[in-house]
Each structure stands twice: as structure tokens, then as C-alpha cells.
Amino acid sequence: MIVDKQGRRFRNLRVSLTSACNYACTYCVPDGKRLVAQRDALPLDKLVTAVAYLKQATDLEKLRITGGEPLISPLFDGFLAAISQLSLQDVSLTTNGQLLERKLPVLLAGGVRRINVSLDSLDAAAFRRIARGGDLAEVLRGIEAALDAGLQVKVNMVPLRGHNHEQVLPLLDYCLARGIELRFIELMRMGHLARDATAFRQQFYGMPEILERIAERYTYRQADTALDATAQRFEIPGQGYFGIIANESAPFCRTCSRLRLTSNGWLYGCLSSSQRHFIGDLLDTPYEQALPALQARLQGALADKQDVAFAGDVMVMKIIGG
């Protein structure tokens, strides 16, 4: 078993299906360029082989498809259909929701039951300022359609001081009214924000402030969370739940079980490290022959995890897969 001295092992795989995105969120894409087509992605069969090999070599239970924006990838339908045959316990998706309504039949056919939709504001103008694209009404239609279809929906919001922090309560109201668990993600020092401490500090809006704001309207209490969960969960009795992924205020590296695979065949063991391990060269080799090298690269990825706290990295989230 591939396990480190803190007892951590890989149980959750995130696959960044494409680094291209139809948004260019200000905190993710510094140059504002949308839809930068990816030229070096692995073909579908190799990507599926990579997941199958990783499942065999680790204790993989869950897989989340992310990106970039996974729903714009031409590989999405085929990838989901193929991995739904791999007997994983859970296959989920993180999306900006722009194409959600259109892609729902594919998600349902592929056995997806849980999705996370990123939504930073219910104010159409602020939404477009942050996403530098997109159509709020289409995202909201996608969320309603997903709920109607019986999917479990979570909404991810990155609160940014001065840009959308006033949306903490409106978004929480919106989610509670629909039985959606809202996840506040503390801004991470990724990409350009890892280089620009001032920009990061100016926009960072952390867990204490989020909770203070919520307390203006709601009474909440801490709720149970899975041991390797990234989010701290809170219950608003009688109304629902929300969570905070507090990478800065309450780091969760000690229990992290995530492994990331990029669309061009690199493994990342930690969001907070540029260290990466190529496995694209192993995918034409039968599994038993590829295993020793695969294990060595997985050990390397596990060793990249931070001991305690998220330190940030210049890696761009849309490449590594948020």
C-alpha cells in the first residue's frame, strides 16, 4: 500500500479533463484569456487507462472530474461513459454550470449523482466581472434542472473582499432555500496570487469573517465531517448546512487524501507544490509491467504533500484541476 508516515494515502482522484475554460475568473486566470485550447492533452483511451491504472495501484474510492471547465471538453462524454465502468464508489463533477442544463442527460446516464457548481455572485454584473464571461441566468437554470433531476448539488463560492463578500448571505439564503450545501472556499495563494502577496491580502476574506457575517442572520453550530474532508461543516438547525474550505485559517493537509491527474498525464500530490510526476509514458505498457514505475511516481506524489499547512504555489488552478 502506498502510504506516508502520517498515514495518508490516495483515496480521492481529481481529473482535470482540460485546462481550457469558458470563464477566466480573476483569481484563477491573470491574463483574462478564456478558452485557451489545449494542444497536449492525452487522447481519451490513455486518460481512461491512466485512471484504471491509478485505481488498481491505490485505494481509490472517489473520482471528481474537474478542469479547466470539464463540460467544454470534447472528451467529456466518452470519459464519463468509460470511467462509469470502473466500479468506483463515487464519480462527481465540479463545473461552472454554464453548460449544465445541456449536459444533464450525459451526467445522469454516466451515473453522476453529485455535482459542485461554482457560483461567486447572484448579481449578474458582479458575476461577469469576476468570471469575465458566462451568463448567470444559464447557470441558475442549470442548477434548478440538476435539482429537478434529483442530483445532489453543492455550490462553491470564493468570497473576495471588495468584489463579492457582500454575497455571502444572499448566496447562503439562495442555497438554504433549495437544500443546497454552500461551500465557501477561502482564496488560495495559487498562480499569480502566489507571486503577489498584496493582491492576495487585499482580497482574502477568511473563515472568521465569513462566520461573523453569517451570524448576523443565522444561528449555526459545527457539524460532523469526514476525517479527510477539506471543508468544515456547519449546521443551521432546521434550515440546512454550509461548509468552509479554510485552507488558510484551518489547514487540512494532515488528512489530505487527494491525488490530481492533469489532462496531459501529470500527477500532482499537492495543490501547494509544483512537483509533478509524468505517467503518460506508462500507458502503452501492460499494467503489471507499468506497476513498479507507477508506484514510484505515486510515492513521489505522496511525498509532495505539505506536512501541516497550505503554502500556495505558482501553479494555475485551471491546469492542475481545482
Residues binding ligand SAM (CB under 6 A): 21, 27-28, 66-67, 69, 94-96, 118, 156, 158, 185, 187-188, 190, 193, 317-318, 322
- Provide long-range contacts, Cβ within 8 A and 24+ apart, for 6-9: 6/254, 6/307, 8/254, 8/255, 8/256, 8/257, 8/302, 8/305, 9/58, 9/59, 9/257, 9/302
Q: Closer to ligand SAM at the Cβ: 50 or 160?
A: 160
**DSSP-assigned letters across all residues of 8-72:** ----EEEEE--S--S---TTT-TT-------SSPPPHHHHHHHHHHHHHHS---EEEEESS-GGG
In the complex, minimum distance from the CB of residue 293 to ligand SAM, in angstroms, rounded to a whole number? 29
Q: Closer to ligand SAM at the Cβ: 176 or 199?
A: 199
In the complex, minimum distance from the CB of residue 67 to ligand SAM, in angstroms, rounded to a whole number? 5
User: What residue number has its CB nearest to ligand SAM?
Assistant: 322
Lookup: cell for 100: 449544465
Angle at the Cα of 216 from the Cα atoms of 214 and 217, rounded to 5 degrees: 75
In the complex, minimum distance from the CB of residue 127 to ligand SAM, in angstroms, rounded to a whole number? 12
In angstroms, the CA 36 to CA 103 distance is 21
In the complex, minimum distance from the CB of residue 308 to ligand SAM, in angstroms, rounded to a whole number? 19
269, 261 Cβ separation under 8 angstroms: no
Q: Closer to ligand SAM at the Cβ: 69 or 181?
A: 69
In the complex, minimum distance from the CB of residue 200 to ligand SAM, in angstroms, rounded to a whole number? 9
Q: Which of 216, 321, 315 is nearest to 265 (CA)?
A: 321
In the complex, minimum distance from the CB of residue 96 to ligand SAM, in angstroms, rounded to a whole number? 4
Q: Closer to ligand SAM at the Cβ: 53 or 142?
A: 142
Q: Closer to ligand SAM at the Cβ: 184 or 241?
A: 184
Q: Closer to ligand SAM at the Cβ: 118 or 257?
A: 118
Q: What angle, 0 to 180 degrees and rounded to 10, lies between the N-to-C axes of helices 76-83 and 44-57? A: 30
Task: Report residue 194: phi and psi, to 5°.
Answer: -75, -25
